[in-house]
A and B are shown apart, each in its own frame.
Chain A
Amino acid sequence: MQQETVRSGMIEISYREAVREAIREAIKRDERVFLMGEDVGRYGGCYAVSKGLLAEFGPERIRDTPLSESGFTGAGIGAAMAGMRPIVELMTVNFSLLALDQIVNTAATVRHMSGNQFGVPLVIRMATGAGRQLAAQHSHSLEGWYAHIPGIKVLAPATLEDARGMLWTALQDPDPVLIFENVMLYNMTGKLAADAGPVDIDRAAVRRPGRDISLITYGGSLWKTLEAATALAAESIEAEVIDLRSLRPLDDASIMTSVAKTRRAVIVDEGWRSGSLAAEIAMRIVEQAFWALDAPIGRVCSEEVPVPYPSHLENAAIPQAPKIVAAAKAALGRA
């Protein structure tokens, strides 16, 4: 193992490049795979993820689409039913609402409704989250909505390894998989093994071990939560940080194992608080680990407003490290 890593070495790479490498590998490896979406080809992708791929693979497999989210998402569903492995890119989660009919009424239902005769092995990628001053129609975090829907799987890669590795595994899945890429992560850079490959898509990961409190999060909030954990450590609070990775299905076992150890939990979720994924996780902890708890479960979610344009208001609207620190300390009775 060690020799392998030494031989292949580590490379400096951005999250954006890691996603691009994942797409490139998938298209090379499987002739059924193609990428389709608005401006994925000539423009290079709204967030530059697919830059260069058109020149490499041509317009059939890097397919620019008109602004017809429902039309081309449905086309991805049909192509998947007929043996292809499409990757549909929706520029942002807000635009995915224009394709909601196809995702919820067709992709999610067909296998069950047809009595297992037809499946939809489709991957849909989209950007999510706030932080780029794009205001209230480009900045929301609606992945929790999608996690509500039986029949689809929902992933939130937060690390370079997951950005690089989740796509291939998702493409092997016989059912529709939605991948949410937080917009603030695209520029994140770091070291990744040059031979990094597929990763599992059904387990949560402990990103920082700790004994005092479980901080449960995903996606763009992972890094703020790790920042908060560092700040807490300076006050001798050892927080355990759980990266959910998969929002549907949720890895209950990993959550409960952590909570059983720390006896306290705070959930950090960029979605709005009401009816949120955070609410679902809190309830599962109550159902499965109530007697292990020493304190009420805390939540750090987005404020219940449409995300505004000015930077200071945008920052105030979404979870930030100081709020996470405060919530953790409150759960520990050290507010």
Chain B
Amino acid sequence: MTAPADKPRLSREHMLYLLKQMIRIRRFEDKCAELYTQEKIRGFLHLYDGEEAVAVGVIPVLEKRDRIVATYREHGHALVRGVPMTTVLAEMYGKQEGCSRGRGGSMHLFDRATNFHGGNAIVGGSLPLAVGLALADHMQGGDLVIACFFGEGAVAEGEFHESLNLAALWGLPVLFVCENNLYAMGTALALSESETDIQRKASCYRIASEAVDGMDVVAVEAAARRAVHAVRESRKPYFLECRTYRLRAHSMFDAQLYRDKAEIEAWRQKEPIVRFQGWLQSNHMIHPEDVPRIEAEIDAEIAEAVAFAEAGTWEPAEQLTRFTYAESAVPADR
């Protein structure tokens, strides 16, 4: 007998994996901020600090064959999914070795090899896409789960409601993951929604839903196991709201005039890495040398990624128009 699919795995090895993935994202984002001030990375840069437990809790529960649709704050999702840090960073440098050939930048990480269907910079725009990926699987008789990440700001978009309705109406295997970080850029949830209990909205569409503490990676993972299992078995959508908080500014241009420092500090006390690490230590699940070792491994990976991005090359301007349309008559899809 195998263990129920939704049961958390509390092995030391798995706990270290979760911790490492969260620290990996945090340190990567720190490096991105630094590289942004050095003007190595340009454009908009949205960092994931504080929300790591969501991507780390959900994505490893998915199978390799499943598909993911993400937002413009998607570095963490790409890294946890297995998009190499080298090509992610090269993308943000705009180098042609980047995971989207340098054409997309921070907000548009794509990777076919891992079924990573992109960051999307139109809030709410990715939900219909996820419905379509699920519709294809439905019509092909597959058993995929399509995980669709979006923020609570997307809930105000018409495309959110259209997509939930379509997924429920047609019975499509979409896992809707709402990363509720309480602010749509600078607009607080209470200023944009008449009903601030986001997961309740799913019930209007008869979609099973659950809200979880998005700062607790173990809780997120347990909920994700339930959710993925439910979608995989029922072939119906499921709505998982992860209540989290963005510790950094919305983007590098944000002066954060819309929230108090005290509020940020209060959330910092609950932030997922310190919390999980403390819990592991108090339960003697990690050794004192584990964290420095993990950090050293991550720093080496980041150094390698920086070197890779620095050594990357610019796509020749003569190739500017390539791939506006396909160059071969055979569609590149699966």
Contacts and interface: CB of A to CB of B under 8 A. Distances in A.
Given A114-B100, A116-B101, A121 B333 contact: yes
Contacts of A68: 162, 165-166
B23 interface: no
A73 to B, nearest CB: 7
B128 A72 contact: yes
A74 B131 contact: yes
A105 B159 CA distance: 13
B103 A113 contact: yes
Nearest to B334: A83
Interface string B161-195: 01101100100000000000000000000000000
B332 interface: yes
Contacts of B325: 111, 151, 153, 174-175
Interface string B124-165: 010111111111110110000000000000000011001101
A77 interface: yes
Majority secondary structure, B binding face: loop
A166 interface: no
B128 A74 contact: yes
A60 interface: yes
Interface in A59-82: 60, 65-66, 68, 70-82
A255 to B, nearest CB: 21
Given A75-B135, A174-B331, A117 B128 contact: no
Given A72-B166, A81-B333, A117 B129 contact: no
Contacts of B122: 101, 105-106
A151 B118 CA distance: 17
Contact of A76 (B117, B132, B137, B334): B132
A267 to B, nearest CB: 25
A105 B332 CA distance: 19
A101 B121 CA distance: 11
Contacts of A83: 136, 140, 333-334
Interface string A21-34: 00000000000001
A111 B332 CA distance: 9
Interface in A115-138: 115-119, 121
Given A112-B323, A115-B103, A74 B163 contact: yes
A34 B139 contact: yes
Nearest to A71: B162
Contact of B130 (A60, A65, A78, A110): A78
A113 to B, nearest CB: 5
B282 interface: no
A53 B165 CA distance: 25
* Interface band, chain A: 35 or more
Contacts of A65: 166
Interface in B11-56: none
B166 A106 contact: no
B110 interface: yes
Interface in B284-323: 322-323
A80 B132 contact: yes
A113 B125 contact: no
Contacts of B134: 78
Contacts of A70: 128, 158-159, 162
A137 B184 CA distance: 33
B129 A113 contact: no
A85 to B, nearest CB: 9
A306 interface: no
A118 B133 contact: no
Nearest to B144: A82
Contact of B163 (A71, A86, A121): A71
Contact of A115 (B110, B136, B162, B328): B110
Given A114-B103, A117-B111, A84 B139 contact: yes
Q: Tell me which of A71, A79, A82, A118 has the highest count of chain B C-beta atoms within 10 A of its own C-beta.
A: A82
A209 interface: no
A314 to B, nearest CB: 31
B102 interface: yes
A119 B127 CA distance: 18
Contact of B125 (A75, A79, A101, A151): A101
A240 B110 CA distance: 48
A276 interface: no
A65 B167 CA distance: 11
B104 interface: yes
B269 interface: no
A257 interface: no
Contacts of A72: 128, 162, 166
A172 interface: yes
A243 B176 CA distance: 47
23 contacts: A66-B165, A71-B162, A74-B128, A74-B129, A75-B129, A78-B135, A80-B136, A81-B117, A82-B333, A83-B136, A84-B135, A101-B122, A111-B326, A113-B100, A113-B118, A114-B103, A115-B104, A116-B323, A116-B326, A118-B110, A172-B329, A174-B331, A174-B332
Given A34-B139, A117-B332, 7 more contacts: A70-B158, A71-B163, A71-B166, A77-B132, A115-B102, A117-B111, A175-B326
Closest 7 CB pairs of A and B: A78-B132, A74-B128, A115-B101, A71-B162, A82-B136, A174-B326, A68-B162
